[in-house]
């Protein structure tokens, strides 16, 4: 057996004592952990040292590229189209990928969107799309290439060969209390996105109640680190900071979020979903070299809808098939007249999860018909007895726990009371 060039205990001590690891040390550490030479206990100590003491820019870049190198990297250079992608840090009612990918593709740009499934209160794009009868998340690389060439947009599951070191490391972080660490979050997200092989990337970095990071300054810091990582790896990268204090749109769930996305593609839909879809589309297209795109027109004239139908059909889905409808529903009505001044995102996400729209473990199934339909948003005037929201599920026994999650999550005040939204939907851009 060849002698290992480094001792992992020495590397742990270096980070424990606030030292800096070299690129060679990081490359070896990621490779040794991936092949099982470094034990989980040792990597747990390393992630905690990083959590407590941070990493320098060069260290984070080296960690990211080492995780990319742990697996395969897709190559779209054979396409006759430029590629651009988007990643969201996740939120309540965040279905933006669904209308966004076909919208951008309608301008002749390829969108290879490798997505995941939901866990906890944050929904997964693949779970939403699997509401559509026949649609399949897993496709081969050859199928992806053909679809990008023919339709322009693919939303599918990432193969296990992309950044396998990240998958192993993330599972460890999840059980060691080291998830909320900006160097580790940034390298995790960007290693997968760089491995996808896209030439340009727009990051939707959320902050607020329903976001992974609640504080806008922490989200801004994460955005800055990820943009630098993208640029260091030769990927044109930009980040948009968006507000997740209030649920996005009127639908929280799976099938109902697909319905809302189709409304946007048909030229309608909630104003906030349209606003964010258009904003992200403009950035994606600009990074791909398309600077004169009238994205609103593509939503109105059917071009984006045509791309959606092609994207769904190419993966076996029937874009005309009825979506699942929940057999059980419970509507909550306003007890008084006034103005809806508060509607906190996180509790609504937890309630939708408890109704069956999400999962507690990766192995759990989801109820595609479950979720919440909102009938009012903060700032709306409501009358006593008016519906505020409707909970949807296949199991009426789930209503009680969902309602528990929503205690104190919404409030009706008087005209003139401050409306709690945490500010505008789009809080800034990081380049």
CA 81 to chain centre: 24
Q: Percentage of the chain surpassing pLDDT 90?
A: 88
When pLDDT is cut at 50, 70 and 90, the band that residue 229 belongs to is very high
When pLDDT is cut at 50, 70 and 90, the band that residue 356 belongs to is very high
> What whole-number distance in Å separates Cα of residue 121 and Cα of residue 351?
8
Whole-number pLDDT of residue 1: 60
Minimum mean pLDDT among 2-11, 272-281, 388-397: which range?
2-11
Look up 192 and say whether it is catalytic: yes
Check whether 385 has a pLDDT greater than 80. yes
> What angle is formed at CA 99 by the lines to CA 367 and CA 253, rounded to 5 degrees?
20
Q: Which residues are CB-contacts of 376 (< 8 A; sequence separation ≥ 6)?
A: 334, 340, 343, 382, 386, 387, 388, 389
Over residues 45-67, the mean pLDDT reads 97
Q: Percentage of the chain surpassing pLDDT 70?
A: 98
Catalytic residue among 192, 238, 354, 398: 192
Catalytic residue among 128, 173, 368, 398: 173
Look up 35 and say whether it is catalytic: no
Selection from 195, 213, 167, 210 nearest residue 347 by Cα: 210
The model's pTM is 0.94
Give the helix/strand (H/E) hosting 355: none
Look up 138 and say whether it is catalytic: no
What does the mean pLDDT of the chain come to?
A: 94
pLDDT tens sequence across 137-186: 999 999 999 999 999 999 999 877 889 999 899 888 888 888 889 999 99
Catalytic residue among 88, 115, 131, 188: 188
> What whole-number distance in Å separates Cα of residue 139 and Cα of residue 363?
20
Lookup: tokens for 133:
């009868």
- Torsion angle of C-alpha atoms 137, 140, 146, 148, degrees rounded to 10: 50
Selection from 56, 53, 70, 58 nearest residue 23 by Cα: 58
Residues 215 and 206 sit within 8 Å (Cβ to Cβ): no
> What whole-number distance in Å separates Cα of residue 415 and Cα of residue 52?
46
Check whether 119 has a pLDDT greater than 70. no
pLDDT tens sequence across 247-305: 999 999 999 999 999 999 999 999 999 999 999 999 999 999 999 999 999 999 999 99
Q: Is 245 in a helix, a strand, or coil?
A: coil
Catalytic residue among 15, 86, 87, 354: 87
> How many Cβ atoms sit within 10 Å of the Cβ of residue 205?
29
Look up 301 and say whether it is catalytic: no
Selection from 292, 308, 283, 295 nearest residue 204 by Cα: 283
Whole-number pLDDT of residue 121: 65
Look up 87 and say whether it is catalytic: yes
Catalytic residue among 166, 272, 367, 373: 166
Structural domains in the chain plus CATH codes: 8-54 (1.20.970.10), 85-321 (3.40.1030.10), 328-413 (3.90.1170.30)
Q: What would the DSSP string read from start to end of 287-327?
A: HTT--S--HHHHHHSSHHHHHHHHHHHHTT--TTSPPP--S
When pLDDT is cut at 50, 70 and 90, the band that residue 127 belongs to is very high
When pLDDT is cut at 50, 70 and 90, the band that residue 212 belongs to is confident
């Amino acid at each position: 057996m060849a002698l290992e060039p480094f001792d992992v205990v020495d590397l742990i001590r270096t980070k424990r004592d606030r030292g800096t690891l070299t690129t060679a040390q990081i490359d070896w550490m990621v490779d040794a952990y991936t092949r099982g030479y470094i034990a989980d206990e040792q990597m747990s100590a390393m992630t905690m040292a990083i959590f407590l003491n941070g990493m320098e820019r060069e260290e984070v870049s080296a960690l990211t590229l080492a995780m990319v190198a742990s697996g395969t990297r897709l190559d779209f250079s054979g396409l006759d189209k430029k590629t651009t992608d988007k990643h969201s840090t996740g939120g309540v009612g965040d279905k933006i990928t669904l209308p966004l990918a076909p919208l951008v593709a309608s301008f002749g740009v390829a969108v290879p969107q490798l997505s995941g499934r939901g866990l906890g209160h944050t929904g997964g794009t693949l779970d939403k799309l699997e509401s559509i009868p026949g649609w399949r998340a897993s496709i081969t690389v050859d199928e992806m290439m053909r679809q990008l060439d023919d339709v322009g947009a693919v939303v599918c599951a990432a193969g296990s060969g992309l950044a396998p070191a990240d998958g192993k490391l993330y599972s460890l972080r999840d059980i060691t209390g080291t998830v909320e660490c900006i160097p580790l979050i940034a390298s995790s997200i960007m290693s997968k996105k760089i491995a996808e092989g896209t030439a340009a990337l727009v990051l939707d970095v959320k902050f607020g109640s329903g976001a992974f990071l609640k504080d806008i300054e922490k989200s801004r810091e994460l955005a800055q680190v990820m943009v630098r990582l993208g640029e260091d790896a030769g990927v044109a990268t930009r980040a948009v900071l968006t507000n997740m204090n209030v649920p996005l749109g009127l639908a929280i769930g799976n099938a109902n979020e697909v319905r809302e996305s189709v409304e946007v593609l048909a030229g309608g839909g909630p104003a906030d979903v349209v606003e964010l879809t258009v904003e992200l589309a403009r950035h994606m297209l600009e990074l791909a070299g398309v600077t004169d795109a009238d994205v609103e027109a593509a939503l109105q004239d059917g071009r984006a809808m045509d791309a959606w139908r092609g994207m769904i059909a190419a993966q076996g889905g029937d874009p005309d098939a009825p979506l699942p409808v929940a057999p059980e529903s419970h509507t909550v009505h306003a007890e008084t007249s006034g103005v809806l001044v508060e509607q906190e995102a996180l509790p609504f996400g937890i309630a939708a999860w408890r109704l069956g729209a999400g999962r507690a473990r990766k192995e759990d199934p989801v109820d595609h018909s479950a979720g919440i339909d909102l009938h009012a948003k903060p700032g709306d005037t409501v009358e006593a007895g008016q519906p505020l929201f409707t909970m949807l599920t296949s199991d009426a026994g789930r209503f009680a726990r969902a309602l528990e999650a929503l205690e104190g999550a919404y409030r009706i005040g008087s005209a003139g009371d401050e409306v709690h939204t945490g500010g505008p939907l789009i809080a800034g851009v990081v380049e």
